[in-house]
Amino acid sequence: MSTELLHKAYSGALFKEEGDDLIALLANHLKTTKEGTPSKVTRWVSPTNEYNFWQEYVKENHSTKEFFTTVLERSIHTHHPKYIGHQIASTVPVAALATLFSAQLNNGMTVYEMGQASTAIEKVVIDMFVHAIGYTEGDGFLTSGGTLANLTAMLAARKAIANDDIWNDGHASKLAIMVSEEAHYCVDRAARIMGLGNDGIIKIPVDDQYAIRTDLLETYYAKAVADGRQVIAIVGSAPSTSTGVYDDLEAVSAFAKAKKIWFHVDGAHGGAAIFSSKYKHLLKGIDQANSVIIDGHKMMGTSSITTAVLFKNKVDSYATFEQKAQYLWDKNDDPEWYNIGKRTFECTKSMMSLRFFAIMNAYGTQFFDDNVTVLYDAGREFATYIKQHPDFELALDPISNIVCFRYIRNLSPDQYEEVNRKIRQELLEDGEFYIVSTLLKGVFYLRTTFMNPFTNKEHMEALLEKIKAIASNIELKKEQINL
């Protein structure tokens, strides 16, 4: 028998009341943050203090409205135009509504009968990606983030290229993959999960623009073979996370074909440029890749986490996982595109296709073109301002919306890292802007990623002025200490 509490928890009337409050809260948040208010992107609290706050909070009585309001106040505001930090989208409101909608329906999607609409919608979304890439016999599916997506692609490479029946018999050969030294850490993680170990991850140096050195591929491949390893795949970055630089995909593809190995493109961040008429040239050669991944929650405006795993040959999207589960489906020798659980890590998979489709339905694929183009333009515009300020220097001219730079005024080279680290920390604690940092060949740089299409030149100039003020204050404090 249901209890009074259960009836209350599932009340449609209460859901409407609390839902109306939540939508009003978020609508006001969207309006004010888009306009640049409140003045701070984040309000820094130490991990311990934040944990203590919520420990005490749960002991008290709060309404659902109060709870959501408190979380909002204590969270970073990715829709603020002064959020120029990590690669997380300023979620398109209609995609957020789709996420709320799908969360309430909670169709598991492992088998078609548990998610009929969302499964068919996912196929339409995948068709959109396949067409944009230029595949003629392609297919794929959506999964929970770039890490799982890259791992899935590497497992497909192993299945297609390795000589052993690894799924049933385990490893019999020493396998390896080739990656740029600037590749995202999740590619390294995928290789380790697969049991390749340190020696199975062949890291290729990058050039002075931080793109993989294709002139070294033959040398590193030959050494791996001489060491008794079977190279199964090479990964091209589109782009690298630290710099936003795209590898030469055409050259990598030619190498992969010559060696008869799998060519994978990690386009988690910048693969969405295939939708930009202005920037899709950066991905020339992507149609030759055996597999590609693209995150929706980076450059395509969806809520987290939503990633497309795409295959040039549709058969490869089915071959990775071969496992009997009679309680889920009747046949195991039929690909059955509509039973997605046959192809994904997730058994219970969320209705993430709705996030893409809601945007497509409301604004068409032109939204993806507009978003990528505006954000990539912003990166180049910011670099122009930096070049006009002798107090700063760029690490390199940006290719995308990722810009690495540092403050150098009145500093000796041995002071660059210390001062710029302090600048980054003070920016975090101040909270008006949010940017991050990175190491490029061991050298520390401030790092911005333009993820909000409403970040403009005034915000860019204000950030540089803010950094200059912080640096001057650091210099003043140092002088006072010396006195």
- Say whether pLDDT at 328 is over 60: no
Helix axes 353-363, 93-105, angle to 10 degrees: 140
Band (pLDDT 50/70/90 cuts) for residue 30 is very high
Question: Looking at residue 281, what DSSP letter applies?
Answer: G
Minimum mean pLDDT among 144-158, 378-392, 435-449, 468-482: which range?
A: 468-482
In the chain, what are the domains?
100-363 (3.40.640.10)
Please write the tens of the pLDDT for every residue from 240-294: 999 999 999 999 999 999 999 999 999 999 999 999 999 999 999 999 999 999 9
Band (pLDDT 50/70/90 cuts) for residue 323 is very low
- For residues 264 and 147, the model is more confident at 264
Band (pLDDT 50/70/90 cuts) for residue 332 is very low
Contact 319, 160 (CB under 8 A): yes
Contact 281, 267 (CB under 8 A): no
Please write the tens of the pLDDT for every residue from 379-414: 999 999 999 999 999 999 999 999 999 999 999 999
Contact 368, 271 (CB under 8 A): no
- For residues 336 and 82, the model is more confident at 82
Nearest Cα to 253, choosing from 240, 262, 266? 262
Minimum mean pLDDT among 96-110, 164-178, 364-378: which range?
A: 164-178
Write the CB contacts of 161 (distance below 8 Å, at least 6 apart in sequence). Answer: 230, 232, 233, 260, 261, 262
- For residues 346 and 161, the model is more confident at 161
The residue assigned the tokens 């009585």 is 61
Per the prediction, the chain carries an average pLDDT of 92
- Say whether pLDDT at 168 is over 90: no
- Say whether pLDDT at 333 is over 50: no
Q: Rounded to whole angstroms, what are the CA distances from 408 to 18, 380, 414, 419, 420?
A: 51, 20, 11, 9, 9
94-123 average pLDDT score: 93
- For residues 254 and 328, the model is more confident at 254
Percentage of the chain with pLDDT > 70? 95
- Say whether pLDDT at 31 is over 60: yes
Band (pLDDT 50/70/90 cuts) for residue 481 is low
Nearest Cα to 36, choosing from 82, 87, 104, 101? 82
223-230 average pLDDT score: 96
- For residues 87 and 320, the model is more confident at 87
Q: Distance (Å, rounded) from C-alpha 34 to C-alpha 191?
A: 40
Band (pLDDT 50/70/90 cuts) for residue 322 is low
The residue assigned the tokens 């020798």 is 333
Peptide bond into 212 cis (omega under 30): no
26-51 average pLDDT score: 93
Minimum mean pLDDT among 107-116, 212-221, 338-347: which range?
A: 338-347
- For residues 453 and 329, the model is more confident at 453
Q: Distance (Å, rounded) from C-alpha 109 to C-alpha 312?
A: 24
Question: Looking at residue 446, what DSSP letter applies?
Answer: E
Percentage of the chain with pLDDT > 90? 79
Q: Distance (Å, rounded) from C-alpha 177 to C-alpha 349?
A: 28
Contact 154, 177 (CB under 8 A): yes
- Say whether pLDDT at 415 is over 50: yes
- pLDDT computed for residue 36 by the predictor: 82
Q: Tell me how long the chain is.
A: 483
pTM passes above 0.85: yes
- Say whether pLDDT at 171 is over 80: no
Q: Distance (Å, rounded) from C-alpha 185 to C-alpha 235?
A: 12
- Say whether pLDDT at 458 is over 50: yes
- Say whether pLDDT at 180 is over 60: yes
- Say whether pLDDT at 172 is over 90: no
